[in-house]
C-alpha cells in the first residue's frame, strides 16, 4: 500500500493540542492495517518559549518537529511573510502528499497559502468558524484559509452552514471537534494528577481561572479595563488563577507598571495542557478571551465568561454555559453573577457539549478522509 506523506503545520499552543489526537489517529491507522501515513510536523515557531511550545510537545507525546522555523514574534505582515518563505522551502524539500493546517493563526494562513501556490492539497482542521468580527486577525485568517483549502473539516453544524453560505459545500465535511478528542483523552490523566490543585492550595475552595492573550485585549485601552474587571470578579471567589501569556505580561509592564492585584488573584506562568485541564475541570468558572478555553470549559461542564464582544463557539452560549461580556467591569460582574445562579449543572453542560462537538472520534474521521484529498495520477513535485 502506498505511503501517504502528511505534513502538519502548527505554530501556537492551541494547535499543538489539536494536533495530538490527529497524530495519534495517523499512527493508529497504520497499526490497524489501514493507510500507512508518514507524518512530519513543521513548527513555525510562532510560540517559541518552552512554556508555550516544547513543554507541550513532550506532555502531549507529539512527534517532535522535523523542522522548526523559529519565526518568533513580529507584526502580522512580517511574521506571515517569514513563515511563507520558510514553509515553501520545506514543502519543496519534503514534497508531502497533503498538508494539514489547524485553527486560525498566522501559521494557519501561511501554511495554506504556501501549499496551494505549489499545487499541494491542503486540509483545514477547524474550518468554518466565524465570529462576524472582521477586525479580528483570526477572522481574516479563517476566511482566507477556508477559501484556498481543498478539504474543510468542520467541527460543528454551524460551521458547516457557514461554509455552505460561502459556496464551499463541496469541500466541506463535518467531522466533530478534535478539541473534544483532546479534552476527553487528556482529562483522565488530569484528574489523576492532583499536583496543580495542591500547588495553588485549591482543594475545597471555590476558584476561577482567567486568561487574557489576544492582541485586542492587550491594548492601552482594553487592558486596564480587563484587569479591573478581573480584580472585581475575583472577589466573587476564594481565588482566581491567572496564567499570564508573555504578550499580556509585557503589556501589563507597559501600561500598568507593577500590577498589584487583589490578593485573591494568583498570577503564574503559562501552564501545560494537563495542568490547565485539571484547573478547568475543578474550577467554578472560567473568564477568558480565548476561543479554545471557552470550548474546553464547555466540554468539561465549567461555566465561562467570554471577555470579548463575540464568540465563534455559539453552541456554548446557546447551551447556557457561556456569557459574552466584553471588557467592561459591570458587564463582566453581571455575567459572573448570572452564571453563578443560573448555569446548568456541570454534567448537563458536558453532555450538551458532547452533543455539539462529538464524542472523541473527530481525528479518526479526519485521517480516514485525508487520502481522498490527494490528486491521483499527478506528479506535483516534478520538474517545472
- Antiparallel, parallel or unpaired: β 285-288 and 304-306: parallel
> What's the CA gap between 237 and 117, in Å, rounded?
52
The grid cell for 193 is 494528577
Of 124, 213, 245, 273, which residue is the catalytic one? 213
Q: Which residues face 41 on adjacent strands? A: 8
What's the number of CA atoms in the CB half-sphere (13 Å) around residue 265?
Answer: 20
| Three-state DSSP class for residue 72 | coil
Q: What are phi and psi of 207, to 5 degrees?
A: -130, 165
Cβ neighbourhood burial of 217 (10 Å; 0-12, 13-18, 19+): buried
Within the chain, where are the H helices?
A: 13-31, 54-59, 76-94, 106-117, 137-148, 157-165, 178-192, 195-199, 222-234, 246-255, 273-282, 291-299, 314-318, 329-342, 346-357, 362-369
Determine whether 43 is an active site residue: no
> What's the CA gap between 138 and 115, in Å, rounded?
19
> What's the CA gap between 26 and 363, in Å, rounded?
9
**C-alpha 193 chain-centroid distance:** 23
Q: Catalytic amino acids?
A: 213
Amino acid at each position: 500500500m502506498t505511503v501517504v506523506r502528511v505534513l502538519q503545520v502548527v505554530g501556537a499552543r492551541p494547535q499543538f493540542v489539536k494536533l495530538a489526537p490527529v497524530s495519534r489517529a495517523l499512527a493508529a491507522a497504520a497499526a490497524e492495517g489501514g493507510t500507512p501515513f508518514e507524518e512530519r510536523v513543521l513548527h513555525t515557531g510562532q510560540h517559541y518559549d518552552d512554556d508555550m511550545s516544547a513543554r507541550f510537545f513532550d506532555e502531549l507525546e507529539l512527534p517532535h518537529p522535523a523542522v522548526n522555523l523559529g519565526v518568533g514574534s513580529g507584526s502580522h505582515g512580517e511574521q506571515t511573510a517569514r513563515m511563507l518563505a520558510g514553509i515553501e522551502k520545506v514543502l519543496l524539500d519534503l514534497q508531502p502528499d497533503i498538508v494539514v493546517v489547524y485553527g486560525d493563526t498566522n501559521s494557519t494562513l501561511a501554511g495554506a497559502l504556501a501549499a496551494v501556490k505549489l499545487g499541494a492539497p491542503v486540509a483545514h482542521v477547524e474550518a468554518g468558524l466565524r465570529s462576524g468580527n472582521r477586525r479580528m486577525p483570526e477572522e481574516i485568517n479563517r476566511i482566507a484559509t477556508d477559501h484556498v483549502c481543498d478539504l474543510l473539516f468542520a467541527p460543528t453544524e454551524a460551521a458547516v452552514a457557514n461554509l455552505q453560505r460561502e459556496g464551499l459545500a463541496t469541500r466541506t465535511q463535518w467531522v466533530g471537534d478534535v478539541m473534544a478528542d483532546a479534552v476527553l483523552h487528556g482529562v483522565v490523566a488530569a484528574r489523576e494528577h492532583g499536583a496543580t490543585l495542591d500547588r495553588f492550595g485549591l482543594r475545597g475552595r471555590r476558584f476561577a481561572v482567567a486568561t487574557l492573550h489576544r492582541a485586542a485585549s492587550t491594548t492601552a485601552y482594553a487592558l486596564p479595563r480587563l484587569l479591573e474587571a478581573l480584580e472585581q470578579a475575583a472577589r466573587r471567589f476564594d481565588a482566581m488563577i491567572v496564567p499570564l501569556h508573555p504578550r499580556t505580561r509585557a503589556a501589563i509592564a507597559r501600561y500598568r507598571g507593577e500590577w498589584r492585584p487583589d490578593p485573591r488573584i494568583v498570577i503564574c506562568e503559562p501552564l501545560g495542557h494537563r495542568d490547565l485541564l485539571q484547573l478547568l475541570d475543578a474550577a467554578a468558572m472560567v473568564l477568558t478571551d480565548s476561543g479554545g478555553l471557552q470550548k474546553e470549559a464547555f466540554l468539561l461542564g465549567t461555566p465561562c465568561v467570554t471577555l470579548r464582544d463575540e464568540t465563534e463557539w455559539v453552541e456554548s452560549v446557546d447551551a447556557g454555559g457561556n456569557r459574552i461580556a466584553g471588557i467592561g467591569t459591570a458587564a463582566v460582574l453581571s455575567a459572573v453573577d448570572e452564571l453563578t445562579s443560573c448555569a446548568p449543572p456541570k454534567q448537563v453542560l458536558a453532555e450538551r457539549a458532547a452533543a455539539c462537538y462529538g464524542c472523541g472520534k473527530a481525528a479518526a474521521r479526519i485521517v480516514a478522509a485525508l487520502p481522498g484529498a490527494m490528486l491521483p495520477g499527478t506528479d506535483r513535485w516534478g520538474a517545472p
